[in-house]
Structure 1
Amino acid sequence: MALPGNLKAIQPYLKVANDMRKREPVVAYHCDMHAMQTGMKIDSKSPDCKKFLLQLMTSLETQKGNLSKDPEKKEQISSDVVGSVVVEEQASKLFTYADAKDRGSDFGKNVVRAFYTSSVLYDVAEGLTNELSDEGKVQRKYARWKATYIHNCLKNGETPQPGPVGGLEDNWEDELGEGASGSSYQEPVTQPEPSQPPKPVTRSKPAPQAPVESYEPEPSYQTASGVELTAAQYNHAQKLCKYASSAIMYQDVATALDNLEKCIRLLKTGAE
């Protein structure tokens, strides 16, 4: 059914969820969940809002059932800490992609969309744990401003300026002032066409490994215990450590121990 007017504020989360549905189903689930929780706080009494939220709740149950078939995805939707890591990681990837394009003077609609989507995902990540990394806070603020800035330039037939205004690197907020604030941010009226941006290479993190094609043998490495692990299994072990680290930051001891135990078992036996 159509989104009731009283719930207009949750439209960005629903839109990003639909865009992420196929390639990032876990992220889509958290976006829908954030939309439902936000909508419940806004209006869960009026008939049209109540009906819409019930339908969204049913959709979430279906998504949960499908995702729970995969043990890794099940943890990513059942643990707020782990889910926050996954969503913030996707937000960072989109931000890095958009920022690289912008600094290269590529001001297409896809760049506007990537900046905007990144800012929405940071909101969702923060909603899961009521916390957001300092880097995430800065990137969200910048992405909101940049999406609006490029959109308005294109709308007015102007050429946007790449990067922070004036070429500032560390103190861009001083020059932007209130223009960088997310408080007055509105989604551009003209929606960019859907896109699937390539996974960007962050400046401070190693580039993600490209997926191994089915016709190529996947390399394997032998651990000290004599077990041969594939590159994909090592990547999974790194993810488990990252989940554990985030859980410790939020004092979630149970989740931290669970992920560390899984990591140790994987490295010792190869069992996931």
Structure 2
Amino acid sequence: MTAVPPQLKAVQHHLRTAQEHEKRDPVVAYYCRLYAMQTGMKLDSKTPESRKFLMKLMDQLETMKKELADNESISQEIVGNAHIENYALKMFLYADNEDRSGRFHKNMIKSFYTASLLLDVLTVFGELSEENIQHRKYARWKATYIHNCLKSGETPQPGPIGMEGEAYDDEFGAEGGAEGGAPLAGFQPQVSFRTAPADHSPAVMPPPSNNLQIPPGSHAPANTPAEPPRPTGEAVKPITIPCTMPPDVSLTNTKQAGDVRLTPEDFTRAQKYCKYAGSALQYEDVATAVQNLQKALKLLTTGKE
């Protein structure tokens, strides 16, 4: 893409995120560009330079849509919504865990900020949930706060604290700082969020033990280590992830009644639960996987959630 016109500066970081994910996750790249185009049309679609830029962006989106035609995240809006939300919350979780562990570095700052940008992108599917509005504000503020602390040689305070006005402008910065420049009253995000909540809003989980490390996987920056370095000679301890919700055995014996009629929406929701279960298993989150599989099975066998 050519340089972003000054009138469309508000979407330049979303376009940069798209470029960074071009090969890593084309679905993320596609929706970042879609958000940039929709927002850009509202910002300025009349000046020649903006019109020219937006037309090129539109052509790029059409090309990507054809190339990704077989991808359900592009052809089915509900799957695309889940894909972007899961990706954003994984990045948020990675950065939040690093923050609470006192590991302050450029990758975690960028993960916080990129998570906030992807939560912006979710608006192409409709209005954000109140939870995601709070996550976006917190992630963007945390990125600015930690960046400014490190820049001035101060040690950031881990975890949620009163949000005061912060502003910076760098390669992934937010001009103007945190939205509103005021504390988020009562907002206390937990250490962990479920990767794939059934209702598209992140369910708050109890803080995990300090020795539990969530592997960054594909959601973390490419040069992020899978776990913090261990002191020489330290033994590797196995991680035990308890299943807090035992499987509902009765569901496995349920047979679909003859008068049960499933709608296309029911099948779509069942697909959503199965997709969420698959995402949870990537993190060895057995409880969440079981919960979503149970919901899918119940829906398919009884027609009710």
Q: TM-score when scaled to structure 1?
A: 0.63
Matched with 1:43 is 44
Q: Is the 8 A contact 2:115 2:139 kept in 1?
A: yes
Matched with 2:271 is 240
Give 1:21 shift: 1.6
Q: Is the 8 A contact 2:90 2:195 kept in 1?
A: no
Q: Highest relative contact order (Cα 8 Å, sep 6+), 1 or 2?
A: 1
Aligned partner of residue 2 in structure 1, secondary structure:
coil
Residue 36 and residue 205 in structure 1: after superposition, are their counterparts in 2 closer, same or farther (change >3 A)?
Answer: closer
Give 1:205 shift: 5.0
Q: Is the 8 A contact 1:36 1:53 kept in 2?
A: yes
Give 1:238 shift: 9.1
Q: Is the 8 A contact 1:26 1:76 kept in 2?
A: yes
Give 1:154 shift: 1.0
Aligned partner of residue 158 in structure 2, secondary structure:
coil
Matched with 2:111 is 114
Q: Is the 8 A contact 2:92 2:139 kept in 1?
A: yes
> Percent same amino acid among aligned pairs?
48
Amino acid at match of 2:100: R
CA distance in 1, matches of 2:48, 2:84: 32
- 2:134 counterpart of 1:145: no
Q: Which deviations, in whole Å up to 9, do the C-alpha atoms of 1:49-96 show, x marking residues without a partner?
A: 11111111111111111111x2xx2x3223433322211111100000
How does 1:48-197 map onto structure 2 within 5 Å?
48-68=49-69, 70=70, 73=71, 75-130=72-127, 132-165=128-161, 175-176=162-163, 179=165, 188-191=169-172
4+ residue segments displaced more than 4 Å? 205-208
RMSD over equivalenced CA pairs, Å: 3.4
Gaps of 5+ in 1: 166-174, 180-184, 193-200, 212-222, 225-236, 246-262, 268-272
Gaps of 5+ in 2: 174-190, 197-213, 219-251, 254-267, 277-295, 301-305
Matched with 2:11 is 10
Amino acid at match of 2:79: V
Give 1:161 shift: 1.0
Higher share in helix: 1
Aligned partner of residue 157 in structure 2, secondary structure:
coil
Would you say how many aligned residue pairs link Structure 1 and Structure 2?
198
Residue 136 and residue 150 in structure 1: after superposition, are their counterparts in 2 closer, same or farther (change >3 A)?
Answer: same
